[in-house]
Structure 1
Amino acid sequence: MKKSIASQAFLLGLIAAMAVLFALTVENPSQDMILSGAALGLIALSLVLERLFPLHKDWNEGQGDTAGDLAAFALVFGALDSGLKYLSPFLILALLPDMTQAMAAPLWVQVIAATLVIEFGSWLSHWAHHRYPGLWALHAMHHSTERLYTLNNFRFHPLNHVFNHILAFLPPLALGIAPQALLAYTALSMPVLLLQHSNVRFEFGILNTVFNTNALHRWHHSTAPKEGTKNFGRALILWDQLFGTYYNPAKPTEPASIGLFRTSKAYPKPQNFLRQLAWPFSKSCCAAR
């Protein structure tokens, strides 16, 4: 019980800290950069916690996947993500020049609206990447590792990341939700997302019904299809609860194994990062999951 309370207080405290940081920097022209620095701090914190309180000690040992995870981080979140954030408003203006107008609502209302829309778009994109073979060929990169730790949180195929961004972040912009509301959502969801793959023995208890914690996300990475096709949410588990894709066994257990389903064993190993990038364009692509 004490450990559960401590875990809950830790996560909620991090979310509260990010809310305070956002509020203190709301007039700062460098707010985006400040929040990016906070993200790096959360990543470092997660890496330290994995050494102090590991769920599985063997998951802290490299399996030939670390170099690919770092490459994906640099490629997708170091370069591509910045470009997508910059280009998104221009894309909306180009596609919907007469339909987009600013939402006339307080910022806190827009943050709630942004959260619901982004989380739904993320859920839909994630579900589709598991449902359709062509999209699964992109998403398989993320599921190819056989352990979960902080850095494979960033192992995404660039095209997978583009689709996720389009479905999650373009709709709220098209609805006229202020970019600052999207940034607020990003700040508030950051602790959940950056701890989602962490190899840390947290016990979040009732928070598992609200947030897509690392405990819930481990089920999503299970090699068993009935477990690995659940918990598609981004930071929240709201849309999984509504659409019946929520999975959290009453008895605290763990997936028997982490990685790809048996039907995707032809997919390149995590050590072959470049082959994974090329896989969706190969003749062997798009087999069953």
Structure 2
Amino acid sequence: MNKRISLLRYLLYPVVWVGSFVMISTLLAVGVNIYLATLPVVAGAAVVVLLLERALPYDTDWLHSKQGDLNLDTVHYVVNYGIKVVAQLLILWLGQSLVVWTIFPTTWPLWGQILLALTIIDFFLFAIHALSHRYEWLWKLHAIHHSSERLYWLNGDKRHPIHQVLEGLPGITLCVSIGTPMPVVAGALAVLAVNMILQHANLDYRAGWLKHLFSVAELHRWHHRADYKDAQVNYGAWLVIWDKLFGTYYDAPSQAEQIGQIGIAEEPDFPRTYAGQLRYPFRPGTKQVNSLLLSIGLNFSFLSFQTPEDSLLGTRRAPDGNDISIYRKGEQYDAKLTHVSKPELRNQLGSIVIWGMRYDKKRNEWNGGQL
């Protein structure tokens, strides 16, 4: 019996993901409508994972709704998947007017085209995701996704609609502009949706060597740890090659049962209604997003080698056990409190503790700054 369960654990991810991929590719290849070829398969994969979560959960506590999160996550999923459907309709309507340079290999087998489009989209998802953990205005939008206190099949698409657009727009725009057929884009998004379900599933499966290629639940759980400083790993939505390439890949198999608290430790009173979460990034004291066009031309400085003045960036632990995160704002550097060692200090989380530091390149020294 134990051997059967062990085998099942290793088969779950490849069977569900590859099975969904084959069905979607086959249906699209024979000319089935893009919605009939994708939506039923994604829904079927969701039902399979939902049932398997009951039979083989990673954490039995995650089987139970926490403060009405099931209804909240359902609204997020419906809205955000609806955004994808509307985007596809818009692309179909605009058609060839969006194509700038016809270089996409449309002579490849359809399954190969879907994998290529998915790789392009996945890279930009990784990039925007990583930036969302670095820039405050993006983090405020992305924080909705991290506010969940449990992981299960439904909260893969739990995100602010604006962040949904910001993440998806660059990759999809590039695909369409180079002549990627709409069925290929639709297939890529559907296959990605299946992976997101598996990535967030409360399912005790094992990916084996596949976790060196794909972003699976075993890896993604580390990204959802409650301490902000612990969550700066495993940004990939489908592939982990980007994390390995840019040094954000993390895995600790021997500690897989010690993920700890999920959510945002620094914000225990995070809004728990859909309307409240929509307003969260714009509440007093947070930076507002001025335009969706900010997603175009984002600063990809995290891809470059670290300069001396940026060597201080990141999270540092003070002698008193508190953590401060240092970040750059233009030419100056500020720091805020992101972890406290004593419960009575929790009301100070997020406070700016240092501001106005500057780096003198000529003298190679730090100047200014106020406490």
Aligned partner of 2:365 in structure 1 is: none
Match of 1:51 among 50, 54, 73: 54
SS at match of 1:196: helix
Deviations 1:139-179 (A, max 9, x none): 11111111111222221110010111102311122222333
Q: Does the CA-based 8 Å contact 1:129-1:139 persist in structure 2? A: yes
TM-score normalised to structure 2 length: 0.69
Instruction: Tell me the equivalent position of 1:259.
Output: 263
Q: Which residue of 2 aligns with 1:141?
A: 144
Match of 2:260, SS? coil
Alignment of 1:268-279 (within 5 A): 268-269=270-271, 271-279=272-280
CA contact (8 A) 1:88 1:170 kept: no
Inter-CA distance 226–280: structure 2 relative to 1 (3 Å threshold): closer
Give the corresponding residue for 2:124. Answer: 121
Distance 2:91 2:34 in 1: 18
Q: Which runs of 5+ in 1 are unaligned?
A: none
Match of 1:241 in 2: 244
| Counterparts of 1:205 and 1:225, CA distance in 2 | 27
Alpha-carbon distance, 1:102 to partner: 5.1
Quick one: distance in 2 between partners of 1:68 and 1:35? Answer: 24
RMSD of Structure 2 on Structure 1 (CA) = 2.5
Residues 1-289 of structure 1 mapped to structure 2, 5 A cutoff: 2=3, 3=5, 5-25=7-27, 26-64=29-67, 65-77=69-81, 79-88=82-91, 99-101=100-102, 103-104=104-105, 105-107=107-109, 108-253=111-256, 254-262=258-266, 265=267, 268-269=270-271, 271-286=272-287
Q: State the 1:109 CA deviation.
A: 4.7
Task: Work out whether residues 49 and 198 of structure 2, in 8 Å CA contact, stay in contact via their aligned partners in 1.
Answer: yes
Contact 1:51–1:60 (Cα < 8 Å) also in 2: yes
Decide whether the 8 Å contact of 2:45 with 2:194 is kept in 1. Answer: yes
The structure with the greater share of residues assigned to strand is 2
Distance 1:171 1:58, change over 3 A: same
Provide the C-alpha distance between the structure 2 equivalents of 1:13 and 1:36, rounded to a whole number of angstroms: 18
Distance 1:121 1:88 in 2: 19
1:49-94 per-residue CA deviation (whole Å, 9 max, x = no partner) reads 11111111111111121221111122221x3221122224667966
RCO higher in 1 or 2 (8 Å CA, sep ≥ 6)?
1
- Aligned-residue identity in percent: 27
Aligned counterparts of 1:246 and 1:255: Cα–Cα separation in 2: 16
Which amino acid in the other structure matches residue 63 of structure 1?
A: K
* Alpha-carbon spacing, 1:261–1:124, altered in 2? closer, same or farther (3 Å): farther
- 8 Å Cα contact 1:230/1:245 also seen in 2: yes
Q: Which moved more, 1:129-138 or 1:113-122?
A: 113-122
What secondary structure, in the 3-state scheme, does the structure 2 residue paired with 1:131 have? coil
Q: Distance in 2 between matches of 1:123 and 1:204?
A: 20
Q: Which amino acid aligns with 2:149?
A: E
Whether the 8 Å contact between 1:192 and 1:211 is mirrored in structure 2 is no
Q: Secondary structure at the match of 1:251?
A: helix
Structure 1 pair 168–4 and aligned structure 2 pair: CA distance change class (3 A) = farther
Q: In 1, distance between residues paired with 2:46 and 2:248?
A: 28
Task: Give, in whole Å, the separation in 1 of the partners of 2:140 and 2:129.
Answer: 13
* Partner Cα separation in structure 2 for residue 80 and residue 35 of structure 1: 15
1:129–1:136 contact (8 Å) kept in structure 2: yes
Q: Which whole-Å CA distance do the structure 2 matches of 1:4 and 1:171 have between them?
A: 41
For residues 167 and 187 of structure 2, what CA distance do their matches in structure 1 show?
A: 18
Instruction: Report the AA paired with residue 26 of structure 2.
Output: L
Q: Assess if the C-alpha contact under 8 Å between 1:93 and 1:100 holds in 2.
A: no
When residues 74 and 16 of structure 1 are mapped into structure 2, their CA distance, relative to the original with a 3 A threshold, is closer
Unaligned runs of 5+ in 2: 288-335, 339-349, 351-371
In structure 2, C-alpha distance between the alignment counterparts of 1:54 and 1:75, rounded to whole Å:
27
* Alignment match, 2:305: none
Higher relative helix content: 1
